[in-house]
Chain A
């Protein structure tokens, strides 16, 4: 990285010195009360909120920045008072905070045209609607115009500040972008920063960055052709943009710091079968590799034909230990999207929403994480009726019914959804301007996605009952039930056997894996054919988000030797209790289910010691391993080069890290099996590596 980027890195990331510009926390209802008094409708409130937040903003520009904008307002205001929101909540299903979130805009809606042309287009539309007597739509177009004017006004203030701070470059760029579309890569990045920033200020959160390497490529290509940039200066620009995504991210809405949905998708198949991974994609990987920042989160689209070299590039990034890239398999995801009715024109453009849920930029207002289906909950319900079943098949049939019941229940909860309008987001979503209709009312795709939580716990529990009760007859049904109901108290040997020696999903044992195939099929079956109240379908998934904690907290012990309240494994991952046969077995088992039916999103998550990335040869082999999972038909994978924090946790809670492999000297060992002095030693070494 250049000196300039290094300095910016130190300032923003290391020292966080820009926090000095932040304004004090304020009352989040500071405007809601006024809006209520003025009797404003929700759309007007949303327009005013952006205006009021941007007016509160104090522009900060540094002399050598090319991409400006800094958040100084800490507290984003609500548009409704508490009472008003309570009233709305009583009549509607509120997803998370009731905001438009977790989708991916099509930024080209503004990038290609600029504000002046977009405004002209909207004015025409407004006139058309007015002529046709469509008052509501005409009024909505006015809201969009006001939003553009608000942003333009804000940009003018920033341009003035840029002049004052002696950054003429930024002043000129900003003034141009007030009306005109960007023409160069630097301008396009500044423009994207403005849009993205204003989305956050509109209280939209988890705003995906989508296929950045595709929509930015024309600017890159033109600049390169005209000699305005070379690869090095392009890298510097991209790095500055990546840094900008980390300036304010601690102010963003999320479950945890870092959970902010700033995901970026690189590469992927084009409709004609060609590969879209380009020079700019590679520069993005390089930027992420050099900066080692948690934002943007890099995703790579791959398929059966993706060459090993691309996986190697990805694995070099994994080696850094930041937990990405995450890989998505086009071969599986295309098929999944087709099955759910996505148009052939759109599927080639898929990206991930915040984490891993697949979505179409600009078209998808899917609520991809509307709820989570707990597989263990269904299995426990059936196992509690164990005495009724004559054989394992009867138990399985009951599990199937429970999955249907639970899926039905979850479907029914997610109806009559209300979301706050967002004219700002509507400017970058397709169809909003054309139809005079806010994004909160839905765009082209309005499907609902469910996570599928705790699959390994569910499968292992059923396999355990089959083995110990129905086949080996080591336990009677009553004994098994008593054991789990008593949380295995006084039954150490049984607990030990079930937990550590029982059959596990991930050991490439067809009979156990077949249970996983069935459970996931039934989850898909249960949702198939149903429509939500906005005309969308339901998508089954294999992610867990936080549900693996929420849904396990109060759940009784399970026949896989999990005790009451113990967590399920996160995402689409094997049991965390015991060492499995190994990584080959895991990828083989986990690619057996019909993943194209359950591809709402949710990666197989595998952790490997960063010693598995020690030299070029090892990196290449680890890359080959990822490729193998994809080639076997896996849908999504994230692979972690385990870092120091994980090892520290492994020391404190070895039971959660049984499969953590470390290369010690000329040999590999399981970290938790080593004596403390050696663990410390390795941790020290890792400190040096990191």
Chain B
């Protein structure tokens, strides 16, 4: 069994308690229009090209045999003198990845840190992450999830983590479907499981201007969280115009479909109203 990941980032300071390593799993069932990790959407390896520092030497194109359609063969990667090209998406067995992550066990232990599985969407590779999480037992394990997966999978994942960071993007079902491509019914169902699980969790809301930064959406979200003793806090992540940074690098256009220049409404009164601890990052 293999999983596919698109990055491993050491020294993550915003992805859970202590200093952590975050694994970014490749592939996601949602298609949020504001997604800032577009290389995390597809489940297959793909070519990623940075323009910065390109000397236009043309060596990549000289080498390319699939000019019509890139097949991510990686031939061009090996000739770029500036190292601006790479194949994003590496396959690992749970054993291989666990071994790599466990090398830094001493560092996690010294700092009350651990490992966070993020993405993409980690629960979209359920067998792999459960096998991986089992191998990481004894280390603080966190998952960052959009919550969109079959409830039994979600429950199993919950059984194998110590901490959950879950996104709640929109409470209105139709709006959710419009902006992310999927209904939020599974997500809300999984939220109920999460609340009952007793696992400490954080709710994260990427605040998108004019999409979900309204008082109405915030108050609906807050309303769902009043009965959760295990909720640590709500974290608001105001949209930033750099979200589209990586689209060009994977040869895609960033078409968010909302006014990216509009100011984000970071008002937190909706959460205050319900006495829910809230942070704006």
Chain A residues proximal to chain B, CB less than 8 Å = 492-493, 495-497, 499-500, 508, 577-578, 581-585, 587-588, 608, 612, 614-615, 617-618, 621-622, 624-625, 627-628, 631-632, 651, 654-655, 658, 663-669, 672-676, 678-679, 681-682
Contact = CB atoms under 8 A, between A and B. Distances in A.
Given A492-B79, A497-B78, A666-B281, A585 B53 contact: no
A682 B104 contact: no
Contact of B8 (A577, A581, A678): A581
Interface stretch (B10-18, B214-222, B265-273): B10-18
Contact of A666 (B36, B104, B107, B110): B36
B37 interface: yes
B52 A654 contact: yes
Contact of B59 (A492, A632, A651, A658): A492
Determine the interface band of chain B, counting residues with CB < 8 A from chain A: 35 or more
A628 B111 contact: yes
B79 A496 contact: yes
A675 B104 contact: no
A655 B82 contact: yes
A676 B51 contact: yes
For B19, B36, B37, the residue with the greatest tally of chain A CB atoms inside 10 Å of its CB is B19
A654 B82 contact: yes
12 contacts: A496-B83, A582-B8, A585-B10, A588-B103, A614-B281, A618-B14, A621-B111, A624-B110, A666-B204, A666-B281, A667-B37, A673-B52
A672 B10 CA distance: 18
A399 B158 CA distance: 54
Interface in B227-249: 237, 239-243, 245-246, 248-249
Nearest to B235: A666
A681 B104 contact: no
Interface string B45-70: 00000111100000100000000000
B237 A675 contact: no
B251 to A, nearest CB: 13
Contacts of A499: 83
Given A495-B81, A625-B19, A588 B242 contact: no
A655 B53 contact: yes
A588 B110 CA distance: 13
B53 A654 contact: yes
B18 A624 contact: yes
Interface in B1-52: 8-14, 18-19, 21, 36-37, 50-52
A493 B79 contact: yes
A496 to B, nearest CB: 6
B59 A628 contact: no
A618 B14 CA distance: 7
Contacts of A681: 241-242
Nearest to B81: A492
A305 B73 CA distance: 52
Contact of B19 (A624, A631, A651): A624
A634 B26 CA distance: 35
B209 interface: no
Contacts of B243: 665
B197 to A, nearest CB: 24
Contacts of B14: 618, 663, 666
B13 A617 contact: yes
B166 interface: no
A277 to B, nearest CB: 21
A664 B240 contact: yes
Given A495-B81, A667-B36, A673 B13 contact: no
Which secondary structure characterizes the binding site on chain A? helix
Contact of B10 (A583, A654, A665): A583
A633 to B, nearest CB: 12
B20 to A, nearest CB: 9
- Sorted nearest first, the 4 A-B pairs with minimum C-beta distance are A582-B10, A654-B53, A665-B240, A583-B11
Given A624-B111, A675-B52, A678-B242, A493 B13 contact: no
B13 A664 contact: no
Contact of B13 (A581, A585, A587, A622): A622
A665 B242 contact: yes
A673 to B, nearest CB: 4
A582 B23 CA distance: 13
Given A584-B10, A665-B36, A667-B36, A578 B83 contact: yes
A77 to B, nearest CB: 49
For B14, B18, B206, B249, the residue with the greatest tally of chain A CB atoms inside 10 Å of its CB is B14
B104 A621 contact: no
Nearest to A681: B242
B278 to A, nearest CB: 14
B237 A673 contact: no
A653 to B, nearest CB: 8
B13 A666 contact: no
A674 B245 contact: yes
B276 interface: no
Interface string B78-108: 1111110000000000000000000110110
Contacts of A615: 281
A582 B11 contact: yes
A123 B9 CA distance: 67
A135 B120 CA distance: 84
A262 B241 CA distance: 43
Given A654-B53, A664-B240, A621 B13 contact: yes
Contact of A612 (B13, B37, B248): B13
Interface in B96-140: 103-104, 106-107, 110-111
A581 B103 CA distance: 12
B81 A665 contact: no
Given A618-B13, A665-B36, A665-B242, A584 B52 contact: no
Contacts of A497: 78
Nearest to B111: A624
A674 B248 CA distance: 10
A669 B53 contact: no
Contacts of B106: 632
Contact of B11 (A508, A584, A627, A665): A584
Given A582-B11, A654-B52, A681-B242, A673 B249 contact: yes
A666 B83 CA distance: 26
B245 A675 contact: yes
Contacts of B78: 493, 496-497
A672 B19 contact: no
B104 A584 contact: yes
Nearest to B24: A667
Contacts of B18: 621, 624
Contacts of B21: 582, 584
Contact of A496 (B81, B104, B249, B281): B81
A675 B51 contact: yes
For B9, B11, B79, the residue with the greatest tally of chain A CB atoms inside 10 Å of its CB is B11
A581 B249 CA distance: 21
Nearest to A651: B52
A441 B175 CA distance: 82
Given A583-B11, A676-B51, A681-B241, A500 B83 contact: yes
A621 B19 contact: yes
B148 to A, nearest CB: 18
Given A496-B81, A622-B13, A674 B240 contact: no
Contact of A628 (B9, B110, B281): B110
A312 to B, nearest CB: 13
Contact of B53 (A495, A665, A672): A672
